[in-house]
């Protein structure tokens, strides 16, 4: 095989061309960790419930340890909401607000780590992601903070100042880049409804929906970050994700076994 | 206990460093190798040896710096309405005073403690979780101060404080002390006793700061809870031991601060002021009577 | 004395100890509600570094040209720094491209490529730092951005590398696998968040042309253009990343950027003095 030469092959080729044919997909993109399941433990929906919501779910995760490889990611919750509201009052831009949000998912990951230590829970910093394979191979459950690392590089949102890429996005993208087997969002609702079921109990449940249909419906409120939908359209590996009610015992196990137990959102 | 230790006959090796005169000493008969020093062959548990070290001169490290602690719940959680005027006041005073700003946690810190306690985590775990809340607050205060030379300094960079001060910066630090796994178990409950007030006070003591000012949302320490009894009186000056003896049900400052204040060498008084009142911080920086002074 | 009712700090367990909340305007919200998101918009964001210019040196266009292009340009920057506060930002260039091409060939995902491209940018920042060290340059890694105000105040010339930290979390592109958030975008985002006085892209072209000037020498030069119009024109190639244009469309603070030709002596100085040289793209 010819060595790659700078100058003869690529020089002068702009990366900003509308048609970057040369850099188009060539061959298959690899799956880095095709057998791992990435699970998001919701912040407001699970963590903020304390013992009553979290303990049974963690027991279920431990029970699945021998059959499934899992990476747990954490959301923020009410403390993120509080810091967002104080920061906005102080006039902070989106990038700073994203930086502040990161710290709460970090904190929740540390909490989860302490609870899971005895079952091989390891808290993995972003800089040590190269160790993920080792931890999984050793039968551990890596725990990561859900926020993506954009911080002050978070793109300003079109409407307000709430960062668009938060923990759903961070955890989904991690699943996608690892080429994970599945991405499961453990929340406290059965899945997606036409409206927020906490505000309107008559909201209609949606068991399965495509990303394009969901974007077309343009719902006023959603159980998952809109950014995830946008990103799923370009996904190479994780073309669907499932939102489940992790407060119902057994639901996570069934989801890990590939059953349809909540709302499946898929890229078409 | 002889003040001059009676040494057994010794053999001296050559001084390792001629300037300091430090010598390696080999005890005769008992083959131990010592380094000559006032504490040579002493037990460091011996009370008299410990006492001997008390009177020693302590160096004043940053004696012209005011350490201003911005309370989490009292100032930062209140948002723009309270914090922006305070930031303005800090900037106005920086020409005359060297100011180091420390920040506390507030309501998210309390939420974390409540949640972590519910989850059954121990004190040493709780103490590791809330530093990030102070970090969030420090980040916000930093961004508000950036155009006036704000600079956020992590603990590992405290040794660069003089540089940042001389370069015209206003350093912002996290006040939660890093007790982490090593936090002491409290007698009751599981809340760490060393929290941001304590961290702030300890820094002012170690650095011999010119003042230690706690900016809160109350005028100071009252004889009773002023919300319950409107006739409660503000105490302008009180000693830490008196205050501890009063055994008030609530205090605007962590109890650990009072306990440490009893033993202070350098920063022997602290001041609590109401940050909701414009001008209070300026008056406190100028050493005027405002709020409550707690002295040794 | 302020009577603050807006921010009363309060913790409470929702009915039957289900969830523990802090009272705030976002309490129990999904943060997806459109009206709620809209309510957070403000045009009064805090001014962070309003006196500082952000000057971005292109990787392929400037740094890869070596001494011939860099030496006069850096002299100009050092001279300007005596009068103005400047943060210097650097891009990647040919080695970044090589990394992407090789990574794609090996089947690496976009997030993997973004992680690798980052390091090229870092190399350029290191080189620039050593070139400028005697002129009080200081290389500022991302984690130390919060030192920038003090470095600027005391006369240093901070150098940052502008590949944004998207790493494994880089968004997959619709087509191809080249990361969409590269150094130009990082510089734009930095200028926007830090509310800098300007955002100047130093490249090896005068700015934008209606057509490729290499193919049509009489192509019309564009000295000022609205970002929406530029996006509409859908030019086949651009001297800056497309993501910059997307960010510029929703920017609150830094509402225009300028492309100047770093190979022309004096162009950057004039841009720093607020003169129109090159192409200004505005909201």
Written as one string, the DSSP assignment of B181-193 is: GGPPPPSSSS--S
Residue B83: closest C-alpha in chain C? C2
DSSP state of B119: T
Model confidence at A59: pLDDT above 90: yes
pLDDT in tens, C193-221: 999 999 999 999 999 998 877 778 888 99
Model confidence at B38: pLDDT above 80: no
Q: What does the block give as tokens for A151?
A: 């911080």
How does DSSP assign A159-191, residue by residue?
SSSS-SS-HHHHHHHHHHHHT-SEEEEEESSSS
Asked if C190 and A129 come within 8 Å (Cβ–Cβ), the reply is: no
Average pLDDT, integer, range B192-202 = 95
pLDDT in tens, B136-153: 999 999 999 999 999 999
Asked if C236 and A32 come within 8 Å (Cβ–Cβ), the reply is: no
- Greater model confidence, B48 or C271: C271
CA distance A183 to A71: 10
Model confidence at B8: pLDDT above 60: no
DSSP state of B20: T
Q: Which of B23, B94, B55, B148 is nearest to B281 (CA)?
A: B94
Q: Identify the pLDDT of residue B246.
A: 92
Whole-Å CA distances, C75 to A4, A202, C79, C133, C161? 35, 69, 6, 13, 20
The answer to whether B26 and B34 are in contact (CB under 8 A) is yes
- Contact with chain C for residue A254, Cβ under 8 A: no
Residue A87: closest C-alpha in chain B? B140
The Cβ of residue C214 has, within 10 Å, a number of other Cβ atoms equal to 9
The Cβ of residue A22 has, within 10 Å, a number of other Cβ atoms equal to 17
Q: Identify the pLDDT of residue A17.
A: 67
Average pLDDT, integer, range C88-104 = 89
Model confidence at A4: pLDDT above 60: no
- Contact with chain A for residue B108, Cβ under 8 A: yes
User: Which of C30, C234, C239 lies at the smallest CB-CB distance from A223?
Assistant: C30
Helix (H, G, I), strand (E, B) or coil at B66: strand
Q: Residue B271's beta-bridge partner residues?
A: B213, B293
pLDDT in tens, C236-256: 888 999 999 999 999 999 999
Q: Tell me the nearest-neighbour CA distance from B203 into chain C, angstroms.
A: 21
Model confidence at B224: pLDDT above 90: no
Tell me the average pLDDT of chain B.
Answer: 88
Q: Residue A79: which region, alpha, beta or left (left: phi > 0; alpha: psi -120 to 50)?
A: alpha
Residue C21: closest C-alpha in chain B? B111
CA distance B4 to A266: 83
Model confidence at B5: pLDDT above 90: no
CA distance C186 to A154: 9
Cα three-residue angle B107-A154-C268, rounded to 5 degrees: 130
The model's pTM: 0.86
Q: Identify the pLDDT of residue B19.
A: 52
Model confidence at C27: pLDDT above 90: no
Q: Which of A77-86, B223-232, B281-290 has the lowest mean pLDDT?
A: B223-232
DSSP state of B290: -
Direct distance between the N- and C-terminal alpha carbons of chain A, in angstroms, rounded to an integer: 38
Model confidence at C1: pLDDT above 50: no
The answer to whether C141 and C120 are in contact (CB under 8 A) is no
Q: Tell me the nearest-neighbour CA distance from C103 into chain A, angstroms.
A: 10
Burial of C271 from C-beta contacts in 10 A (0-12 / 13-18 / 19+): buried
Phi, psi of C170 (to 5 degrees): -60, 140
pLDDT in tens, A162-203: 999 999 999 999 999 999 999 999 999 999 999 888 888 898
- Dihedral sign from CA coordinates of C131, C132, C138, C142: negative
- Contact with chain B for residue C14, Cβ under 8 A: no
Rg (CA), chain A: 20
Residues A80, A83, A84, A89, Cα dihedral to 10° = 170
DSSP state of A29: P
Q: Identify the pLDDT of residue A24.
A: 61
Q: What does the block give as tokens for C184?
A: 């130009």
List the subunits that have 3+ CB pairs under 8 angstroms with B: A, C
For the ranges A13-17, B228-232, C6-10, the maximum mean pLDDT occurs at B228-232
User: Which of B79, B107, B143 lies at the smallest CB-CB distance from C46?
Assistant: B143
Asked if A90 and B140 come within 8 Å (Cβ–Cβ), the reply is: yes
CA distance B112 to B190: 12
Q: Identify the pLDDT of residue C7.
A: 55
Q: In chain A, what residues touch B86 (CB-CB under 8 Å)? A: none
pLDDT over 70, % of chain B: 91
Q: Tell me the nearest-neighbour CA distance from B165 into chain A, angstroms.
A: 25
Model confidence at A10: pLDDT above 60: no
Q: Tell me the nearest-neighbour CA distance from B110 into chain C, angstroms.
A: 8
Model confidence at B133: pLDDT above 90: yes
Burial of A50 from C-beta contacts in 10 A (0-12 / 13-18 / 19+): buried
The Cβ of residue A65 has, within 10 Å, a number of other Cβ atoms equal to 14
Q: Residue C188: which region, alpha, beta or left (left: phi > 0; alpha: psi -120 to 50)?
A: alpha
pLDDT in tens, C138-195: 999 988 999 999 999 989 999 999 999 999 999 998 888 899 999 999 999 999 999 9
Residue B114: closest C-alpha in chain C? C20
Q: Which of B196, B249, B250, B192 is nearest to B71 (CA)?
A: B196
Cα three-residue angle A170-A171-A176, rounded to 5 degrees: 100
Q: What does the block give as tokens for C141?
A: 């890694």
Q: In chain B, what residues touch C1 (CB-CB under 8 Å)? A: 274, 276-277
Average pLDDT, integer, range C224-238 = 90
Q: Identify the pLDDT of residue C205.
A: 92
List the subunits that have 3+ CB pairs under 8 angstroms with A: B, C
- Contact with chain B for residue C7, Cβ under 8 A: yes
User: Which of A55, A92, A103 lies at the smallest CB-CB distance from B135?
Assistant: A103
Q: Identify the pLDDT of residue A22.
A: 56
How does DSSP assign chain C, residue by residue?
-----TT---EEE-GGG--EEE-STTTT--S--HHHHHHT--S-PPPSSTTEEEEEE-TTTTGGGTHHHHHHHHHHHHHHHTTSEEEEEE---HHHHHHHHHHHHTT--HHHHHHHHHHHHHHHHHHHHHHHGGGTEEE--GGGGGGHHHHHHTT-EEEEE---TTGGGPPPPSSSSS-S--HHHHHHHHHHHTT-SEEEEEESSSSEESS-TTT-TTPPEESEEEHHHHHHHT-S--SS-HHHHHHHHT-SS--EEEEEETTSTTHHHHHHTT---SEEEE-
pLDDT band, residue A20 (cuts 50/70/90) = low
Q: Identify the pLDDT of residue B28.
A: 75
Model confidence at B132: pLDDT above 60: yes
The answer to whether C118 and C167 are in contact (CB under 8 A) is yes
Direct distance between the N- and C-terminal alpha carbons of chain C, in angstroms, rounded to an integer: 42
Average pLDDT, integer, range B118-133 = 92
Model confidence at B2: pLDDT above 70: no
- Greater model confidence, C212 or B128: B128
The answer to whether C76 and C266 are in contact (CB under 8 A) is yes
Average pLDDT, integer, range A35-49 = 94
pLDDT band, residue A9 (cuts 50/70/90) = very low
Model confidence at A19: pLDDT above 80: no
Q: Which of A6-10, B193-197, B237-241, C274-278 has the lowest mean pLDDT?
A: A6-10
Q: In chain C, what residues touch A18 (CB-CB under 8 Å)? A: 234-237
pLDDT band, residue B16 (cuts 50/70/90) = very low
Q: Identify the pLDDT of residue C10.
A: 83
């Amino acid at each position: 095989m010819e060595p790659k030469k700078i100058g003869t092959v690529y020089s002068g080729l702009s990366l900003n061309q509308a048609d970057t044919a040369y850099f188009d997909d060539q061959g298959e993109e690899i799956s880095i960790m095709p057998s791992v399941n990435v699970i998001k433990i919701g912040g407001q929906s699970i963590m903020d419930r304390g013992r009553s919501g979290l303990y049974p779910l963690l027991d279920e995760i431990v029970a699945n340890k021998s059959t499934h490889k899992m990476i747990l990611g954490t959301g923020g919750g009410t403390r993120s909401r509080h810091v967002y509201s104080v920061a906005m009052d102080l006039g902070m831009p989106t990038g700073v607000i994203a930086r502040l949000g990161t710290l709460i998912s970090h904190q929740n990951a540390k909490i989860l780590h302490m609870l899971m230590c005895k079952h091989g829970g390891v808290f993995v910093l972003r800089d040590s992601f190269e160790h993920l394979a080792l931890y999984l191979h050793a039968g551990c459950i890596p725990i990561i903070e859900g926020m993506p690392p954009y911080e002050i590089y978070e793109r300003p949102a079109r409407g307000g100042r709430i960062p668009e890429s938060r923990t759903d996005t961070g955890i989904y993208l991690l699943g996608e880049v690892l080429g994970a087997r599945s991405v499961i969002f453990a929340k406290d609702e059965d899945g997606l409804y036409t409206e927020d079921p906490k505000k309107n109990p008559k909201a209609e449940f949606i068991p399965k929906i495509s990303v394009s249909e969901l974007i077309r419906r343009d719902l006023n409120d959603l159980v998952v970050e809109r950014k995830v939908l946008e990103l799923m359209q370009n996904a190479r590996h994780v073309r669907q994700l499932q939102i489940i009610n992790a407060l119902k015992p057994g639901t996570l196990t069934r989801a890990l076994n590939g059953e349809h137990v909540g709302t499946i959102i898929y890229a078409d | 206990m002889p003040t001059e230790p009676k040494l057994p006959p010794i053999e001296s090796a050559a001084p390792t460093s001629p300037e300091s005169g430090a010598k390696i000493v080999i005890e005769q008969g008992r083959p131990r190798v010592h380094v000559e020093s006032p504490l040579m062959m002493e037990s460091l548990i011996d009370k008299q040896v410990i006492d001997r070290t008390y009177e020693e001169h302590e160096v004043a490290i940053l004696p012209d710096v005011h350490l201003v602690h911005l309370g989490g719940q009292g100032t930062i959680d209140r948002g723009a309405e309270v914090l922006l005027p305070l930031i303005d006041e800090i900037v106005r005073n920086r020409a005359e005073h060297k100011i180091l700003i420390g920040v506390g946690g507030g309501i998210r810190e309390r939420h974390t403690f409540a949640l972590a306690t519910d989850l059954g985590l121990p004190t040493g775990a709780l103490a590791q979780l809330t530093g990030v809340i102070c970090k969030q607050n420090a980040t916000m205060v930093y961004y508000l101060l950036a155009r006036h030379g704000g600079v956020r300094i992590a603990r590992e960079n405290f040794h660069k404080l003089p540089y940042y001060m001389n370069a015209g910066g206003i350093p912002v630090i996290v006040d939660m002390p890093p007790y982490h796994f090593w936090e002491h178990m409290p007698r009751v409950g599981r809340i760490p006793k060393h929290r941001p007030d304590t961290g702030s006070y300890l820094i002012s003591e170690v650095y011999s700061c010119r003042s230690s000012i706690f900016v809160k949302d109350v005028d100071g320490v009252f004889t009773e809870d002023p919300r319950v009894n409107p006739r409660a009186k503000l105490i302008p000056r009180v000693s830490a031991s008196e205050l501890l003896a009063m055994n008030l049900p609530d205090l605007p400052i962590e109890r650990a601060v009072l306990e440490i204040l009893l033993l202070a060498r350098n920063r022997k008084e602290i001041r609590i002021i109401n940050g909701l009142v414009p001008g209070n911080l300026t008056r406190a920086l100028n050493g005027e009577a405002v709020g409550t002074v707690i002295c040794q | 004395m302020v009577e603050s009712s807006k921010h009363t700090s309060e913790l409470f367990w929702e009915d039957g100890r289900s969830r523990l909340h802090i009272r705030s305007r976002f309490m129990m919200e999904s943060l997806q509600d459109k009206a709620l998101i809209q309510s957070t918009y403000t045009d009064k964001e805090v001014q962070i570094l309003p006196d500082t210019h952000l000057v971005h040196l292109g990787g392929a266009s400037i740094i890869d040209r070596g001494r011939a292009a860099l030496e006069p340009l850096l002299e100009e920057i050092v001279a300007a720094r005596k009068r103005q506060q400047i943060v210097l930002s650097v891009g990647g260039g040919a080695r970044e491209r090589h990394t992407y091409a090789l990574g794609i060939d090996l089947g690496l995902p976009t997030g993997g490529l973004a992680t690798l491209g980052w390091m090229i940018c870092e190399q350029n920042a290191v080189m620039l730092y050593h070139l400028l060290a005697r002129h009080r340059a200081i290389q500022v890694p991302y984690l130390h951005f919060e030192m920038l105000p003090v470095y600027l105040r005391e006369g240093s010339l901070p150098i940052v590398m502008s590949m944004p930290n998207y790493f494994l979390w880089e968004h997959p592109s619709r087509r191809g696998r080249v990361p969409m958030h590269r150094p130009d975008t990082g510089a734009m985002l930095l200028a926007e968040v830090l509310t800098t006085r300007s955002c100047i892209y130093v490249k090896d072209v005068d700015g934008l042309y209606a057509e490729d000037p290499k193919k049509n020498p009489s192509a019309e030069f564009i000295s000022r253009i609205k970002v929406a119009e530029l996006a509409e024109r859908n030019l086949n190639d651009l001297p800056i990343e497309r993501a910059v244009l997307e960010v510029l469309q929703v920017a609150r603070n830094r509402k225009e950027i300028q492309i100047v030709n770093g190979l022309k002596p004096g162009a950057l100085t004039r841009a720093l003095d607020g003169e129109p040289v090159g192409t200004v793209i505005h909201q």
